[in-house]
């Protein structure tokens, strides 16, 4: 036995195991990358499991975002405490215990401990389900990024541990980008949960090896810090982190309102949000910091012009909002990264940054739906992003031109339409291209879209004010003016009712007066019903339910066939105008998840279709997918599946399992109608494939809007499903088209949905 061995020293030629591990430069970034990938794969995976239980509303994803931000805050607090107060071997023991506790939650599934979904308290139920289903693994993984960086900082070399934060967010971005295009289309939810559990075990091993590599004699960060953290520093970190988080929620709400509450739509804002961290905390971010604030102001003003113009440009409009969102958030995060402290205080920095994220996200996702009756939090978050600018206050005299230009901007927002039309008559710019009917810029900006000209000119004036003054307060005030004036100028004279709940914004607006006027019901940005203000016509179905639409024809036929014995069901109440097909003695059941909708449809002062047309109809409050299971089999003669959130159809209402469960409740000769009108998705093949896969037959019914009477008849498309071809044989062209089974049917299921198919379908 040698002296070296007696003294517990290795021979000169030997290398300590920890040194071998530390020499592998890939260990810490790889572990960080894996942890982030697991965390941000779990977010859309579990939200997809949870969303159907709460009616498919986009608010589920926003509530989940706030939960994840809160989990990150707790994870960062935990990381800060153990990284600054415990020795490496103590950290190893504590974190191993936390990771093992996380195993008890696997594989990922929605817990039964919360009981059935509670639509009376949707936020509380959703947060409780998230906590009891994911609490353990989420806490363990949320602490990974700051812990890994703290361990890396203890190694004492010249590597900047903040670069690992870029690796963390790169892993998050990669996971989110892969989810809608690779993971979701190819792998079912159950298999995903088992793969995720395996990845969690691999992460446990990687984390244990990473902390074991830290020398036991290394100093804790608080022992080597050269400066103390002031409250000013902490407030700055919170201030720059909160507006981007609020914008993330607000932009996601804006995008998911009209398409679908699915990962493909949830993910782009979050992925771009994380990508800004990758840039901000990289070497590139250091070079971009100087241009951050001017770029932020420019983008906000231009976005204000687009929003003021109310442009509905489809995919182009979505891209505009996403690009502006990315640049604005990037600017805020560049400012945040430029104020990061020395590595010894990095866990505290992440803790306060996370607190800012929680405050911003909670304000947009939880407070805004309660405090605001419209989705103005988008504009308010943009104003907050302007308020945390990096420019210093300038001389008051330099602010005078900015103030004058702000007043001018306000004037033009109020009166520029008249100026534009005066320009149209005074400077009649025309061209041969215009006369031939081709696109010409003057036609678009002045003749067809005067509001675009007004908003653009206001943006130019605001940018000029920006260039004339570097006063943060003045420039922010101008930006707020540009963003909020269109909201203040909305014509609210005809608005009779507006309420906002977990399920969206519901608004009733009158156009004209009785007896020639109309009353419109909108949810989000989409028309959901029309009622005549003529007392002699207030029992007449309008819009999608007009008697000549596919839905109207089917209900008229059903009520005539069984005038006193019909058993009808409606999933999604809306205005309630379908009940005006009811006759005395018939049995109607209506399923609705939003109590505000029930109030509108039953209150004679608002709409009151149900009270006038079917006072004996039974209204069942709750998610229809769950409530329908309680109904007797073979009962409904006709069932309308008409669940919408703005223009988005909850995906769990059109899966193979949903259609199968609904058809089980249909009488042998009954028909089920699935209303699929949508501006972005072609859901006809999806629904038909589900019906054909189950052995049923399907027919496509559609009707364009009536140009001569747009208030009465709206374009509508519906799929009709029955048990036999003979049941549908009575329906003829031009309204109806029999849908033949495809060679390779690909219906959506509860375990697997692929929205790309609906977006890309010819």
CATH code of residue 619? 3.40.50.150
Considering the domain architecture, whether residues 211 and 62 belong to the same structural domain is answered as yes
Considering the domain architecture, whether residues 470 and 602 belong to the same structural domain is answered as no
**According to the model, what pLDDT value does residue 506 have?**
87
Structurally, the chain folds into a number of domains equal to 3
Residue 454 lies in a domain: yes
Residue 521 lies in a domain: no
Write the CB contacts of 703 (distance below 8 Å, at least 6 apart in sequence).
548, 549, 550, 713, 715, 716, 735
Considering the domain architecture, whether residues 348 and 463 belong to the same structural domain is answered as no
Domain of 125: which CATH number? Answer: 1.20.1250.20
Domain C-terminal end among 387, 419, 452: 387
> Using CA atoms, how far apart are residues 111 and 378, in angstroms rounded to an integer?
33
Residue 512 lies in a domain: no
Considering the domain architecture, whether residues 41 and 137 belong to the same structural domain is answered as yes
Using DSSP, state whether 591 is helix, strand or coil.
Answer: strand
Percent share of the chain, pLDDT over 90: 27
Cα angle: 529, vertex 532, 537; to 5 degrees: 120
pTM of the model: 0.74
> Using CA atoms, how far apart are residues 243 and 254, in angstroms rounded to an integer?
16
Tell me which residues of the chain have a pLDDT lower than 50. 1-18, 20-24, 393-396, 429-450, 707-708, 710-713, 760-762
Best CA proximity match to 302, nearest among 461, 408, 450: 461
Range of the domain at 699: 545-760
Considering the domain architecture, whether residues 185 and 307 belong to the same structural domain is answered as yes
Residue 528 lies in a domain: no
**According to the model, what pLDDT value does residue 394 have?**
47
Residue 233 lies in a domain: yes
Q: State the DSSP H helix or E strand holding residue 461, giving kind and residue range, or none if neither.
A: helix 450-468
Write the CB contacts of 157 (distance below 8 Å, at least 6 apart in sequence).
none
Considering the domain architecture, whether residues 336 and 449 belong to the same structural domain is answered as no
The pair of structure tokens assigned to 15 is 């290398």
Domain C-terminal end among 488, 514, 532: 488
For helices 396-426 and 472-488, the axis angle rounded to 10 degrees is: 30
Considering the domain architecture, whether residues 240 and 172 belong to the same structural domain is answered as yes
683 upstream amide cis, omega within 30 of 0: no
Considering the domain architecture, whether residues 413 and 550 belong to the same structural domain is answered as no
Residue 527 lies in a domain: no
**According to the model, what pLDDT value does residue 6 have?**
37
Considering the domain architecture, whether residues 434 and 572 belong to the same structural domain is answered as no
**According to the model, what pLDDT value does residue 137 have?**
93
How far out from the chain centre does Cα 72 lie? 19
Considering the domain architecture, whether residues 199 and 301 belong to the same structural domain is answered as yes
Considering the domain architecture, whether residues 380 and 404 belong to the same structural domain is answered as no
> Using CA atoms, how far apart are residues 79 and 632, in angstroms rounded to an integer?
54
Which one-letter DSSP state was computed for residue 628?
G
**Helix and strand counts by DSSP (H, E) for the chain:** 32, 12
CB 662 within 8 A of CB 625: no
Considering the domain architecture, whether residues 468 and 599 belong to the same structural domain is answered as no
The pair of structure tokens assigned to 4 is 């070296």
β partners of residue 755: none
Domain C-terminal end among 472, 488, 504: 488
> Using CA atoms, how far apart are residues 74 and 81, in angstroms rounded to an integer?
11
**According to the model, what pLDDT value does residue 22 have?**
47
Residue 525 lies in a domain: no
Best CA proximity match to 250, nearest among 354, 376, 127: 376
**According to the model, what pLDDT value does residue 423 have?**
56
Best CA proximity match to 87, nearest among 226, 218, 222: 218
Residue 537 lies in a domain: no
């Amino acid at each position: 036995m040698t002296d070296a061995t007696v003294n517990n020293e290795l021979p000169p030629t030997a290398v300590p195991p920890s040194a071998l591990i530390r020499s592998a430069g890939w260990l810490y970034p790889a572990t960080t990358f894996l942890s982030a990938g697991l965390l941000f794969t779990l977010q859309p995976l579990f939200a997809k499991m949870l969303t159907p239980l709460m009616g498919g509303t986009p608010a589920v994803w926003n509530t989940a975002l706030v939960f994840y931000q809160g989990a990150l805050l707790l994870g960062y607090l935990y990381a800060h405490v153990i990284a600054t107060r415990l020795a490496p071997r103590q950290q190893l023991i504590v974190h191993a215990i936390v990771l093992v506790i996380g195993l008890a939650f696997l594989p990922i599934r929605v817990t039964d401990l919360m009981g059935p979904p509670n639509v009376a308290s949707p936020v509380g139920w959703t947060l409780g389900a998230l906590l009891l289903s994911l609490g353990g693994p989420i806490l363990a993984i949320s602490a990974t990024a700051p812990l890994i960086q703290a361990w890396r900082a203890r190694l004492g070399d010249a590597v900047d541990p903040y670069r690992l934060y870029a690796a963390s967010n790169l892993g998050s971005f990669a996971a989110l980008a892969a989810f809608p295009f690779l993971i979701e289309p190819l792998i079912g939810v159950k298999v995903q949960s088992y793969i995720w559990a395996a990845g969690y075990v691999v992460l446990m091993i990687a984390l244990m090896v990473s902390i074991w590599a830290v020398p036991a004699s290394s100093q804790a960060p608080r022992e080597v810090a050269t400066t103390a953290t002031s409250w000013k520093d902490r407030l700055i970190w919170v201030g720059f982190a909160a507006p981007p988080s609020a914008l993330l929620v607000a932009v996601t709400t804006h995008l998911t309102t009209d398409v679908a509450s699915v990962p493909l739509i949830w993910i782009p804002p979050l992925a771009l949000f994380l990508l800004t961290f990758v840039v901000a905390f990289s070497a590139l971010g250091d070079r971009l910091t100087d241009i951050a604030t001017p770029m932020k102001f420019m983008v906000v003003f231009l976005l204000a012009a687009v929003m003021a113009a109310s442009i509905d440009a489809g995919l182009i409009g979505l891209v505009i909002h996403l690009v502006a969102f990315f640049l604005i958030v990037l600017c805020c995060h560049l400012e945040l990264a430029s104020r990061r402290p020395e590595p010894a205080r990095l866990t505290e920095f992440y803790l306060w940054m996370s607190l800012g994220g929680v405050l911003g996200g909670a304000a947009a996702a939880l407070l805004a739906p309660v405090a605001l009756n419209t989705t103005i939090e988008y504009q308010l978050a943009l104003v907050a992003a302007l308020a945390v600018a990096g420019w210093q206050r300038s001389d008051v005299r330099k602010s005078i031109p900015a103030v004058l230009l702000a007043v001018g901007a306000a004037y033009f927002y109020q009166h520029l339409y008249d100026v534009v039309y005066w320009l149209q008559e005074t400077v009649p710019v025309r061209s041969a291209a215009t006369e031939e009917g081709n696109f010409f810029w003057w036609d678009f900006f002045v003749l067809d879209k005067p509001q675009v000209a007004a908003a653009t000119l206001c943006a130019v004036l605001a940018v000029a004010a920006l260039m004339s003054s570097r006063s943060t307060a003045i420039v922010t005030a101008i930006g707020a003016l540009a963003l909020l004036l269109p909201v203040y100028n909305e014509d609210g004279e005809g608005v009779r009712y507006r309420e906002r709940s977990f399920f969206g914004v519901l608004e009733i607006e009158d156009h004209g007066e009785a007896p020639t006027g109309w009353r419109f019901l909108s949810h989000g940005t989409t028309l959901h019903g029309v009622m005549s203000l003529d007392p002699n016509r207030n029992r007449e179905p309008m819009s999608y339910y007009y008697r000549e639409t596919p839905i109207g024809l089917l209900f008229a036929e059903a009520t005539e066939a069984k005038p006193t014995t019909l058993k009808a069901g409606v999933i999604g109440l809306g205005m309630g105008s379908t009940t005006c097909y009811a006759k005395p003695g018939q049995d109607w059941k209506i399923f609705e998840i939003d109590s505000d909708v029930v109030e509108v449809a039953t209150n004679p002062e608002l709409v009151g279709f149900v009270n006038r047309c079917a006072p004996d109809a039974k209204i069942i409050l709750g998610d229809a997918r769950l409530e329908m299971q309680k109904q007797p089999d073979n009962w409904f003669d006709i069932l309308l599946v008409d669940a919408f959130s703005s223009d988005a159809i909850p995906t769990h209402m059109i899966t193979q399992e949903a259609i199968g469960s609904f058809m089980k409740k249909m009488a042998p000769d009954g028909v089920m109608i699935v209303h699929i009108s949508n501006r972005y998705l072609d859901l006809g093949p999806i629904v038909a494939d589900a019906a054909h896969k189950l052995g049923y037959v399907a027919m496509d019914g559609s009707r364009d809007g009536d140009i001569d009477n747009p208030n009465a008849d709206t374009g509508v498309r519906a799929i009709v499903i029955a048990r036999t071809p003979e049941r549908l044989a009575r329906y003829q062209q031009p309204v109806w088209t029999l849908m033949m089974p495809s060679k390779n049917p690909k219906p959506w299921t509860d375990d697997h949905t692929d929205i790309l198919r609906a977006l890309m379908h010819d």
